A = this chain, B = another copy of it.
């Protein structure tokens, strides 16, 4: 087996990594995506990054078995098309073909969260488990599932939208058009929104001092997390409520998927036990004991590298099919 290249196309940065056949990351490069300059601009940039990786490693393109690419949004991994990626403003972009044309290397694409979770499952915190539920909590809440070692796609490759489970007691309207989607509360945006709302209702909090006269909607989830550590009751209430909502959402997912392990990543996962303690408590209360007793819950360990390693390893598997 040869080497592999994994690429993560994000709204902010493109990261390209070179791995060996086992998924060990050897080199990586990062560039701003500049998605608004168009997809061709991004693909040209990727061509140069791949060439640079080969140069650094002293390899030729014939040494690379495959390129794997994760992009946000809805993907058709069979056709290799990015169907819709809001934060790249891409619609029906033939990503795999465009990169293959420019590099001469077989290229496979998939959803970035699936690739992140696949990376954690193959080389990270969920290694060794057959049934994995992976979630990332950042600006939004996303999830992917691995069943008997294989990614679960569902019809239209649309399975796993944990962030869009509707909870009747969540009052916020979601970008997807529904009211009450879990990610409107369980996300960086959602944590800030809840705190802002409580401040606007006149609740006292250290956060008001920190705002120093700025509008309440300038708050960030990181500030709420920091106020939590100061013992601020508003911040504690928001983190507890968010953790319990996550626990209820995960209870649904555990009861339907029966994972062996839940792996949690994304920026908001840095809140750690502030969020995980109420989440675990609620989850245990809301699932049949048979699930709870066999369930592990772990934090993602590969962080920035999970997506590129997952993309590389997934592409390698698809070569074998």
Decide yes or no whether A277 CB sits under 8 A from chain B. Answer: no
Residues on the B chain within 8 Å of A152, using CB: 147, 152
Decide yes or no whether A165 CB sits under 8 A from chain B. Answer: yes
Say whether A178 contacts B258, CB under 8 Å.
no
**How many copies of the shown chain assemble into the complex?**
2
Kindly specify which of A34-42, A88-96, A153-161, A215-223 makes contact with the partner chain.
A153-161
- Of B154, B255, B258, B259, which one neighbours A259 at CB under 8 angstroms? B154
Say whether A177 contacts B131, CB under 8 Å.
no
Decide yes or no whether A290 CB sits under 8 A from chain B. Answer: yes
Give the CA-CA distance A154 to B251 in the complex, in Å.
15
Return the CB mask of A277-296 against B: 1 if under 8 Å, else 0.
00000000111111100100
Point out which of A74, A176, A178 has the most chain B C-beta atoms below 10 A from its C-beta.
A178
15 residue pairs A–B, Cβ–Cβ below 8 Å: A131-B154, A131-B155, A147-B153, A152-B152, A155-B258, A155-B259, A155-B294, A157-B258, A162-B255, A164-B255, A166-B255, A168-B168, A176-B288, A176-B289, A178-B286
**Which residues does A use to contact B, with CB under 8 Å?**
74, 130-131, 145, 147-148, 152-162, 164-166, 168-169, 176-178, 248, 251-253, 255-260, 285-291, 294
